[in-house]
Amino acid sequence: MDIKTLLSQLTLEEKASLCSGIDSWRTEPIPRLSIPSAVLSDGPHGLRKEISDENGQKTGTVESVCFPTGGAVACSFDRSLIRRMGEALGEECQAENVHVILGPAVNIKRSPLCGRNFEYLSEDPYLAGEMAASYIQGVESQGVGTSLKHFAANNQENRRMTVSAEIDERTLREIYLAGFETAVKKGKPTTVMCSYNKINGVYSSENKRLLTDILRKEWGFDGLVMSDWGAVNRRPDGVLAGLDLEMPSSHGENDAEIVKAVKEGRIREEDVDIVAGRVLKLVYDSLAKEKKNVSYSKEEHHTLARKIASESMVLLKNENEILPLDASKKIAFIGKFAEVPRYQGGGSSHINSYKLTGALEAVKEICSVSYAQGYILEEDRTEETLLKEAVEAAKAADVAVIFAGLPDAFESEGYDRPHMKMPECQNRLIEAVCEVQKHVVVVLHNGAPVEIPWAGKVDGILESYLGGQAVGGAQVDVLFGNVNPSGKLAETIPLKLSDNPSYLNFPGEKDRVEYREGIFVGYRYYDKKEMGVLYPFGYGLSYTTFSYSGLKADKTEINDTDTLQVSVTVKNTGDRAGKEVIQLYVGSLPGPEKAAIRPVRELKGFEKVELQPGESKEVSFTLDKRSFAFYNSEIPGWYVEDGEYEISIGKSSRELAGSLTVTVHPASPIRPHYTMESTVGDLLKNEKAKARFKAYMAKMFPGQDTDEELLMMEAVMDQVPVHSICSFHPNVTLRELQEIVDEANR
């Protein structure tokens, strides 16, 4: 379709009408020219397509498969697995005639309290970006578009539609934009959805710097930008900023604002052509990719959801070899979640799952267990009879497996959690069971970390997050060892909420939240502060053991325009097959040329490998400039400081299996610019200025000319601005000092 020709046939009013949806899920059609709609649906971990009756009344959403939520699947650290999930979602969209699925959601988990963390991927932008890119590739391979959301800095639900996230440029780039950047560059999503909030006072929906300068010009995005539902403030400003499509509909209001703005000369008709043209492109590209008569097997997708869930769960604790469970023993399943698991979160991602398997049902494939409900979910109150029954069941068994976690109301889109605690009635149940039974495993269902006061009392903890509709089967697979656990935490579990770096500034004051912890989010903070955590980023146990050897790099010194190959051999040293996530971290070592404050180490690579007992594999990583760089807001750009960097291979961010050091030189070092306000110390780093200053010292400090005396004077002068020298030394002139500064700049 020739979009230009089509645009030339449209009136201004028609073009403006294309700039918002006709309803919640469709772009505006133009029947006069037979222009159809593109159909959008939520996302991200399942298809939530609304259905209506013949009168247009909404009657619900289609039945589809609820895959593990973003927070769960990120723990798989497995690009091909999340890609496969994307392919399945794409198939479901084709079958339901949906052109764009609204996901993935890649906002950084700044605080464990954010109500939507279950949808988000990680506290780490590298992991979030890589996983999002693979999800996008999977969906898009089926001819279905994705919508990378929520761009950007929507890290809390509290006042999400009015709050301004106050973030310094370096933090924005390194933490809050980096995941989007990778997802855009590698994944190439068809659309991006802007966030509700403001960033440094400007709504994302009218933020030209974000939507055009960074997204399109810097990152090369060439798709469509839509608003989050209801995120538009001043529509004409949005047009100028690069917001193509307002969703859902403004019922003509904002379309009229666009027309008015053109007529009043505030925006040009060509500006409208650009955004309306992108909407038309989305519509016609989507039509061209439609596949007719697609159907899919819900059972197969359910099986896939089970596999993904089982490879995403994180085994947090396994003492006295309590796991895998021995099916010949007397096992008690305790807790309502064994029967009806919590497997997804509330809000726009809520799926009408075509079926749900709890562990109590799935365990029948393996053995019979006794069951006690243990607690109620409707309110946080101990039901004494249920507690007693549970204690009796635990007493009568060899092992008690307690299915616990957060009830629906504790976390959802739309609001944040006030604390990180589990319901007290569940904590009490676990404590009571531990008093009568030594062999206790707790299986957790929660979208974000909880405080675990009983962690020291139980032998096993399996974190299943919100694992999708097949979670019960996956739990049984892992508990009984049919699947060897291989998930790793995509976020740190702190000991307590107040340890979290955003604690003092979350959710901010009224409509302003300052990201004062800067780049020190998640493990970047805990590591720098040398703080204890309950479970570190990247952590997760297996039923087998792995050893690492032969860590090497192909060079010891590189320019930042080169790449560096790093490899390591991993061996399965246990007696069962398993998968290991090999994590590569880079840390900048202190040195004379290093001025930027950096985290101790940052994730810059990961690979997941499957190994049979005794088998080993070599795993390689390619590092480039970005692996060593920080965002320098003064230049501005990504910049590598000259000096040594430590490359570590980790089983987690805290358990390193080996490290090596490489030297990296920036190919084009930054030439500092000196002024009279530069310090003497700054100028002494410049060879020309140093020579001039040395000669000049004698004039500044007559009679002090031994090397030692001059060194002491240099130290004293180190932090004095050049212009101030005159205040202390009557025989020194400003003109002479200016000459030294000019010489240094030459």
Q: Does 102 bind ligand BGC (CB under 6 A)?
A: yes
| Minimum CB–partner distance for residue 160 and ligand BGC (Å) | 8
Catalytic residue (one of 228, 477, 527, 560): 228
Q: Which residues of 170-190 are buried (b: 16+ CB within 10 A; e: fewer)?
A: bbbbbbbbbbbbbbbeebbbb
Using CB under 6 A, which residues numbered 225 to 244 contact ligand BGC? 228-229
Closer residue to ligand BGC (CB): 149 or 417? 149
Q: Which amino acid is at 127?
A: L
- Closest residue to ligand BGC, Cβ-based? 348
Query: Do 591 and 537 touch, CB atoms closer than 8 A?
Result: no
Structure tokens at 631: 């965002």
Query: Do 457 and 431 touch, CB atoms closer than 8 A?
Result: yes
**In this structure, what is the dihedral angle of CA atoms 435, 441, 444, 449, given to the nearest 10 degrees?**
80
Torsion sign across C-alpha atoms 675, 681, 687, 691: positive
| Minimum CB–partner distance for residue 150 and ligand BGC (Å) | 6
| Minimum CB–partner distance for residue 431 and ligand BGC (Å) | 38
Torsion sign across C-alpha atoms 662, 663, 668, 672: positive
Q: What is the distance between the alpha carbons of residues 419 and 394, in angstroms, rounded to a whole number?
A: 30
| Minimum CB–partner distance for residue 64 and ligand BGC (Å) | 15
Closer residue to ligand BGC (CB): 102 or 452? 102
| Minimum CB–partner distance for residue 146 and ligand BGC (Å) | 12
Per the annotation, the verdict on 416 as an active-site residue is: no
| Minimum CB–partner distance for residue 138 and ligand BGC (Å) | 18
Q: Which residues contact 439 (CB under 8 A, 6 or more apart)?
A: 320, 322, 398, 399, 400, 459
Question: What 3-state DSSP class applies to 187?
Answer: helix
Closer residue to ligand BGC (CB): 164 or 310? 164
Q: Which residues contact 488 (CB under 8 A, 6 or more apart)?
A: 75, 77, 314, 538, 539, 540, 581, 583, 652
Closer residue to ligand BGC (CB): 139 or 680? 139
Query: Do 314 and 488 touch, CB atoms closer than 8 A?
Result: yes
In Å, how far are 313, 488, 537, 606 from 650, measured between CA atoms?
19, 12, 11, 10
| Minimum CB–partner distance for residue 71 and ligand BGC (Å) | 14
| Minimum CB–partner distance for residue 1 and ligand BGC (Å) | 27
Query: Do 189 and 145 touch, CB atoms closer than 8 A?
Result: yes
Question: Please, what's the largest Cα pairwise distance for the chain?
Answer: 99
Q: Does 61 bind ligand BGC (CB under 6 A)?
A: no
Q: What is the distance between the alpha carbons of residues 346 and 447, in angstroms, rounded to a whole number?
A: 10
Q: Which residues contact 500 (CB under 8 A, 6 or more apart)?
A: 111, 112, 494, 506
Q: Which of 21, 28, 42, 387 binds ligand BGC (CB under 6 A)?
A: 42
Binding to ligand BGC by CB under 6 A, coded x per residue (else -) over 127-166, reads ----------------------xx----------------
Closer residue to ligand BGC (CB): 102 or 262? 102
Pairing of strands 63-64, 145-151: unpaired
| Minimum CB–partner distance for residue 349 and ligand BGC (Å) | 7
Closer residue to ligand BGC (CB): 42 or 607? 42
Binding to ligand BGC by CB under 6 A, coded x per residue (else -) over 319-348, reads -----------------------------x
Q: Does 246 bind ligand BGC (CB under 6 A)?
A: no
Using CB under 6 A, which residues numbered 344 to 363 contact ligand BGC? 348
Closer residue to ligand BGC (CB): 193 or 568? 193
Question: DSSP letters of 550-613?
Answer: EEEES-SEEETTS-EEEEEEEEE-SSS-EEEEEEEEEEEPP-TT--S---S-EEEEEEEEEE-T
Closer residue to ligand BGC (CB): 110 or 150? 150
Closer residue to ligand BGC (CB): 71 or 405? 71
| Minimum CB–partner distance for residue 40 and ligand BGC (Å) | 8
Using CB under 6 A, which residues numbered 467 to 486 contact ligand BGC? none
Q: Which residues contact 614 (CB under 8 A, 6 or more apart)?
A: 571, 572, 573
The alpha carbon of 527 is separated from its chain's Cα centroid by a whole number of angstroms, namely 19
Closer residue to ligand BGC (CB): 160 or 604? 160
- Number of amino acids touching ligand BGC (CB under 6 A): 8
Q: Which amino acid is at 509?
A: E
| Minimum CB–partner distance for residue 228 and ligand BGC (Å) | 5
Structure tokens at 610: 């499957």
Q: What is the distance between the alpha carbons of residues 106 and 125, in angstroms, rounded to a whole number?
A: 8
475 backbone dihedrals φ, ψ, rounded to 5°: -65, -45
Question: DSSP letters of 30-54?
Answer: BGGGTB---BEEE-SSS-B-EEE-T
Closer residue to ligand BGC (CB): 113 or 740? 113
Closer residue to ligand BGC (CB): 44 or 460? 44
Block residue for tokens 């990247």: 538
Q: What is the DSSP letter of 365?
A: G
Query: Do 640 and 664 touch, CB atoms closer than 8 A?
Result: yes
Query: Do 191 and 145 touch, CB atoms closer than 8 A?
Result: yes
| Minimum CB–partner distance for residue 203 and ligand BGC (Å) | 14
Active site residues: 228
- Note the residues at the interface with ligand BGC (CB under 6 A): 42-43, 102, 149-150, 228-229, 348
